[in-house]
Structure 1
Amino acid sequence: MAEIKTKQTQADVFEFINSFANTEQKKEDSFELVKLMQAVTGFEPKMWGPSIIGFGVYHYKSERSRQEGDWPLVGFSPRKSAISLYVYSGGSEQENLLKELGKFKMGKSCIYIKKLDDINQDVLKKLIKSTVEFLQSKYA
């Protein structure tokens, strides 16, 4: 079984944002997301692998394979083309929240935004909260 490559590191979150975010807008949005996610989750930001900023941690075991490991409850990455938000767990209540979120694209398990002003931050807070609650309940 392959080992998970993305693990929590001791890298500095703020140094990462300053060196990795490719525009001033992305830097500002990233610093704002750190504040927002920390306030909603109560967890300090930590680097996961070289490019994900995560909040909290849970240990999962896959239902389809023998894969297991640790992963952040929620997080984001200021990638080149868009900011990836890891705040979605797929619950039915979240489907309704997505309708109110604003301008975004959806990946398999993440939400892509161009800038923070494109989305409703109150709805984002609800998505974060519901994801944390779901994951802590499922993987208690």
Structure 2
Amino acid sequence: MAENKTKPNARDPDAFIDAVEPEWKRRDARAICAMMERLSGKPPVMWGGSIVGFGQYHYKYESGREGDSLMTGFSPRKAALTLYVMGGFRQRPDLMERLGKYKTGKSCLYVKRLSDIDLEVLEALIAADIAYMRANYDTT
């Protein structure tokens, strides 16, 4: 069975964020990092080369494939800040309706700038997702 390519590593998340350009994206990344650390109670850890993760969970598919992934996290990518909402956000239409300007993928929330969204709603979304992950998966 294939191993996950994205794994936690010893790279320094602060050094990674310090290298983010431009300055406004670095500020946004620091704000997201502080929020996720506070909400998860977990320190930031680099996953792969560009994802800052907080905590982890164990999953097992019906196919038998299983592994570990980050419980929540983000990546300050060139096109947008990518926030990993691992439990999904489709079950929270009330929050998504009030969030502001964003795009989504399966478990990814894409935001150009934090100023485009309501940070209180984002915090509620991340907190609800962390609670969901802890209730439904083996998390550390």
Instruction: Report the TM-score when normalising by structure 2.
Output: 0.91
Deviations 1:4-62 (A, max 9, x none): 0101111100111122x231111010011111111111111111111100111111112
Distance 2:90 2:116 in 1: 23
Partner of 2:43: 44
1:25 aligns with 2:14: no
TM-score (norm. length: structure 1):
0.91
Give the 5 Å matches for 1:1-140.
1-19=1-19, 21-63=20-62, 65-87=63-85, 89-90=87-88, 93-140=91-138
AA in 1 matched with 2:12: D
More strand by share: 2
Provide closer, same or farther for how the CA distance between residues 107 and 93 of structure 1 changes in structure 2, counting only shifts above 3 A: closer
Residue deviations 1:55-109 (CA, integer Å, cap 9, x gap): 111111123x222111111100000110101125236651221001111011121
Structure 2: 5+ residue stretches without partners: none
Decide whether the 8 Å contact of 2:86 with 2:133 is kept in 1: no
Which amino acid in the other structure matches residue 99 of structure 1? Answer: E
AA at the equivalent of 1:135? M
Structure 1: any 5+ residue segments left out of the alignment? none
Q: Which amino acid aligns with 2:119?
A: Q
Q: Is the CA contact (8 Å cut-off) linking 1:88 and 1:94 kept in structure 2?
A: no
Contact 1:9 1:49 in 2 (8 A): yes
Check whether the contact 1:37–1:128 (CA below 8 A) recurs between aligned residues. Answer: yes
> Quick one: which amino acid aligns to residue 126 of structure 1?
A
Q: Which amino acid aligns with 1:74?
A: T
CA distance, structure 2, for counterparts of residue 46 and residue 88 of structure 1:
16
